[in-house]
């Protein structure tokens, strides 16, 4: 039976898309005006099918910043403890968050990500496993290679620059960089690179695969730094 306007599943999908779009518009205004967000590479994200976006992790600001750049509805992994807070659980689920025990590429995270990818979703993961303490790219967890091999998804490297200065893991209050003031501390840049066939990574020895993926992310970090607001 063809889905119509009164089909409950179809209506729910339309409502979810509308809600996601409303959040996108709101956060885009916030990040643009308060963090001088600059972004590039959204055309590198396939519009359909399973996609695994892999990014460096500097700050709590990262997921939304990448989501604003990708211009496609993304799914995210979030700590299960956040879903125990009243109303927050409903909101997180409504914007594509999936609860897991730990951030990063742990066993539960792999299972949850594979389930999302099998449904044709685009999923953002941080293969370092947690936020960087100094803002520099850390070694990648081996679990990312297992995830790529099991999913056969397209892999898209993402570089994040400036988010550590805007809100590091040791700070509660962000450092703002409004577009109407001078200076660049707290400004954020996001660069999305060209897609990589997952087989290219999984056919390599593990260490070589992780190095290639890390180098691809680092190349985008350099580009993200280049487009960041300078003054």
Q: Could you tell me the two tokens for 136?
A: 């520099």
Q: For 114-136, b where at least 16 C-beta lie within 10 A, e where not — what string?
A: bebbeeebbbbbbbbbebbeebe
Is the model's pLDDT at 15 over the cut of 80? no
According to CATH, the superfamily of the domain at 8-227 is: Glycerol-3-phosphate (1)-acyltransferase (3.40.1130.10)
Q: Which contiguous run of DSSP H or E holds residue 144? A: helix 143-151
pLDDT value, residue 7 = 66
pLDDT band at 9 (very low <50, low <70, confident <90, very high): low
Is the model's pLDDT at 78 over the cut of 60? yes
* pLDDT (average), residues 70-85: 86
Nearest to 81 by CA among 69, 65, 104, 99: 99
pTM: predicted TM-score of the whole model, two decimal places? 0.89
pLDDT tens-place string over residues 111-160: 889 999 999 999 999 999 889 999 999 999 988 999 999 998 999 999 99
- 52 by DSSP, 3-state: which? strand
């Amino acid at each position: 039976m063809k889905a119509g306007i009164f089909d409950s599943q179809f209506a729910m999908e339309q409502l979810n898309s509308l809600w996601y779009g409303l959040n996108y518009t709101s956060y885009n205004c916030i990040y643009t005006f308060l963090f001088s967000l600059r972004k590039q590479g959204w055309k590198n994200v396939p519009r359909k099918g399973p996609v695994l976006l892999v990014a460096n992790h500097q700050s709590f600001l990262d997921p939304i910043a990448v989501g604003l750049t990708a211009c496609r509805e993304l799914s995210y992994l979030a700590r299960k403890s956040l879903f125990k807070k009243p109303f927050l659980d409903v909101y997180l689920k409504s914007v594509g968050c999936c609860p897991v025990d730990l951030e990063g590429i742990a066993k539960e995270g792999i299972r949850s990500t594979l389930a999302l990818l099998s449904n044709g979703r685009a999923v953002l993961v941080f293969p370092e496993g947690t936020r960087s303490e100094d803002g520099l790219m850390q070694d990648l967890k081996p679990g990312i290679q297992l995830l790529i091999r099991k999913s056969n998804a397209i892999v898209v490297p993402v570089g994040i620059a400036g988010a550590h200065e805007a809100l590091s893991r040791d700070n509660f209050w962000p450092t703002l960089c409004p577009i109407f003031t001078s200076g660049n501390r707290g400004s954020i840049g996001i660069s999305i690179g060209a897609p990589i066939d997952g087989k290219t990574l999984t056919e390599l020895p593990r260490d070589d695969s992780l190095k290639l993926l890390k180098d691809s992310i680092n190349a985008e970090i350099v580009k993200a730094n280049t487009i960041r607001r300078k003054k």
